[in-house]
Amino acid sequence: MDFLILFLFYLVFMLVSVVMVCICSKTHRLKGLVQGGAQICSCIIPECIQRAVRKLLHYLFHTRNHAFIILHLVLQGTVYTEYTWEIFGYCQELEFSLYYLLLPYLLLIICLIFFTLTCLTNPGTITKENELLFLQVYEFDEVMFPKNARCSTCDLRKPARSKHCSVCNWCVHRFDHHCVWVNTCIGAWNTRYFLIYLLTLTASAAIMAIISTMFLVCLVTMSDLYQETYIDDLGHSQAVDTAFLIQYLFLTFPRIVFLLGFVTVLSFLLGGYLCFALYLAATNQTTNEWYKGDWAWCQLCPVVVRPPSAEPQIYQNIHSHGLWSNLREIFLPAVPYYERKKK
């Protein structure tokens, strides 16, 4: 039973870690797969269950709620509990450096600080009071961001690089995406906190994976297990190979192996998304702009209405001014300074 519970927890962790990255960076192909899967399920699942699932999904992904924040904290707490209960004590007995063992806790503190800042900081909400200020920040490219566009919901002029968030129901300056894990939009004023939060979250998962791997390798090395032999199903003596070692460790330390598998997969998923986020930061793009920037996509869903005889306008990133200028714009945004000066 204990093995079954661990296996179920492992599957849940894996699925959640995949969903964590997919939600933060949706793609057109993913949307098509979801729609195709929904059509197949509609032929099998009863209508009442479909309605209940649609309501639940609408609540989780299309309304502001704290469900994913709670889930995030529960998952993080579970991982650190397992690390403390299983790995930390064993590694102390093997005389691992205490600095390495305490590093995940330091990263946890930093991660939670910037997680809180990301959740609570105003992402750059556009109001009638600051509308004129935001209109002067970025240049209009007249392709993705036309100059005289208005938000039909907020009844405000849309500054360049802004977008109305249907979940939060407000327009956000330099809108990147809405992240359910922090229950807010990622915009001009909290992108820096989000990047540091993502960096520390990825680093903590990677450090845990490294420490767990070092513990298992040290255990095998000290016990000289790789030099032993075992009797196979046919009664023949066989030298211990990698497959046998993995099976032995899995049966002897199932919780540690499950934790190692989870944090390893999570490290790669978060690391991939972190690289993507850093690429956007280095090139001064947002997820929204990257998603809509391909002209092939704009041909299908044009953002500028023009007569058929007009020549096509190709979107170009006019906001990138070099690596350091781009990073300085994110980590030292000028708008809050002018906003405070105005007040």
Each residue's pLDDT, cut to its tens digit, for the chain (343 residues) gives 344 444 444 444 444 444 444 444 444 444 555 566 556 666 777 778 878 888 888 888 888 999 999 999 999 999 999 999 989 988 998 889 999 999 999 999 999 999 999 999 999 999 999 999 999 999 998 888 998 899 999 999 999 999 999 999 999 999 999 999 999 999 999 999 999 999 999 999 999 999 999 999 888 888 776 666 666 666 667 666 777 777 878 888 899 999 999 999 999 999 999 999 999 999 999 999 998 875 434 444 444 444 454 455 566 788 889 999 999 999 988 654 444 444 4
Is 24 an active-site residue? no
Amino acid of residue 75:
L
pTM here is: 0.80
User: Backbone phi, then psi, for 184, in 5-degree steps?
Assistant: -160, 175
Those residues with Cβ within 8 angstroms of residue 270's Cβ, 6 or more apart along the chain or in another chain: 17, 20, 21, 198, 201, 202, 205
Quick one: CA torsion of 30, 31, 36, 41, rounded to 10 degrees? 100
Catalytic residue among 91, 111, 154, 179: 179
> What is the spatial distance between Cα 110 and Cα 103, in angstroms, rounded to a whole number?
11
Give the CA count within 13 Å in the CB-facing half-sphere of 322: 3
